[in-house]
Structure 1
Amino acid sequence: MLHLQVFTFNPFSENTYLIYNDNQECWIVDPGMINEQECQELFSFIESHQLQPQAIINTHAHIDHILGVDVVAQRYNIPFYLHELEMPVLNNAANTARMFGFEYAGVQTKPGFLSEQHLLRLGNDPVTVLLVPGHSPGSIAFYYEKGDWVISGDALFAGSIGRTDLLLGDHPTLIHSIKTQLLPLPAQTAVHSGHGPSTTIGQELNSNPFLN
């Protein structure tokens, strides 16, 4: 069985997730730590629970979701993965940081690539990769059917959807992604987003103003 732990980091209030199993293996999803204090919060949880990091897996490469990639990769000597279509966004990180008023050199860890419908396994537990572009060109979500949850990145939020005014964003594409990839999931599926509180597919089907 897979378990989730959420941390909220950086001035963008970005949600970083730990996915871990009963054998104490874990993935770090969208590490967004911006300073030493935030790094220690994540590392203390990992090490106090004797977790064994296996990989960094990112839903997308916007600046607030990648700030901690290098420090995690270096500390635990683990690979970093995202969808190949995110490379223009990842490579533009320094420019994006300046747009938001700070300096950042970008991720130095060379990424590997995940593809849609890829079945990831943490131990014996399968997690499906869903391609949900629109917020960014290679946004992906991680769906764990057995646990009735999906990590949606910045595609779908409680009562809202991701912005589409950043590099290579596209509103019609995002709406299509949500309606074809996320909303068909069972209504009870918990949606763990890149910002803000969790919701469910059923709740968003019934009340999300952007989808009606």
Structure 2
Amino acid sequence: MIQIFQHTFGPFQENTYLLANENKQTVIIDPGMYFPEENIVLQETLEKNQLQPTQLWLTHAHIDHVMGMKYIHDQFQLEPKLHKEDLVVLENAAASGARFGLKFNPYDGELHFVTDQDKLQLGEDEFSIFFVPGHSPGSIGFYNEKQKFIIGGDVLFKNSIGRTDLPGGDTQTLLNSIRTKLFTLPDDVVVYPGHGEPTTIGYEKTNNPFLK
């Protein structure tokens, strides 16, 4: 049984997720820590629950989802897995931060690229990768069929969708990704988004004003 821990970090109120299996092996997804005290909060969650970080995954590489990546690497020697199409987004993250008056030390180490043909493992638990571009060119979601949840990044929100006015964004591409990829999942699948509260596939099919 995978435990899901969620923290909301940084000036953009981004959701950072920790997924832990029964052996306490833990994947960190989208580390958005910006303020020093947020690193402490993350560390306290790990220590309190005896979690052992073993992997680092990115749904995409916008600034608010990667500001804590260097800290994670320095603390746990983890190298991120992401889609290659978001490499240009990652390379521009520090410059994007500067435009908002945000300074941080970007991660500049090894990268590991994944596609929707790959599967990711957390111990014995398997995750499918959903390639869902539109918010960013390389947005992906991590789907666990057994427990019926997906960590979806900034693609689908409760009653909303991801913004598409950033470089590499495209509204029609995003809507197509949701309709042809995410909406193929069962209605009771829980969507854990990059901002805001969780929702379900079925709720968004019925209620999301952008997808009617």
Deviation at 1:112, TM superposition (A): 1.0
Deviation at 1:104, TM superposition (A): 3.4
Deviation at 1:184, TM superposition (A): 1.0
Is the partner of 2:184 in helix, strand or coil?
coil
Other-structure match for 2:176? 176
Moved more, 36-45 or 60-69: 36-45
Task: Report the aligned-residue RMSD.
Answer: 1.0
Other-structure match for 1:164? 164
Moved more, 68-77 or 106-115: 106-115
For 1:76-95, list aligned pairs within 5 A.
76-95=76-95
Structure 1, unaligned runs of 5 or more: none
Distance in 2 separating the partners of 1:11 and 1:23: 33
Moved more, 49-58 or 187-196: 49-58
Which amino acid in structure 2 is aligned with residue 71 of structure 1? Y
Distance in 1 separating the partners of 2:206 and 2:178: 14
Counterpart contact for 1:191–1:198, Cα < 8 Å: yes
Which amino acid in structure 2 is aligned with residue 180 of structure 1? T
Identity %: 45
Counterpart contact for 1:93–1:104, Cα < 8 Å: no
Moved more, 170-179 or 104-113: 104-113
Counterpart contact for 2:9–2:34, Cα < 8 Å: yes
Deviation at 1:101, TM superposition (A): 2.2
Deviation at 1:26, TM superposition (A): 0.4
**What whole-Å deviation, never above 9, does each CA across 1:54-95 have from its counterpart, x for those lacking one?**
111000000000000010111011221111110010011122
* Length-normalised TM-score, structure 2: 0.97
For 1:105-144, list aligned pairs within 5 A.
105-144=105-144
Distance in 2 separating the partners of 1:29 and 1:127: 13
Is the partner of 2:38 in helix, strand or coil?
helix
Which amino acid in structure 2 is aligned with residue 113 of structure 1? F
Counterpart contact for 2:153–2:193, Cα < 8 Å: yes
Q: 2:147 aligned with 1:147, yes or no?
A: yes
Deviation at 1:105, TM superposition (A): 4.5
Distance in 1 separating the partners of 2:121 and 2:56: 13
Matched positions, count: 212
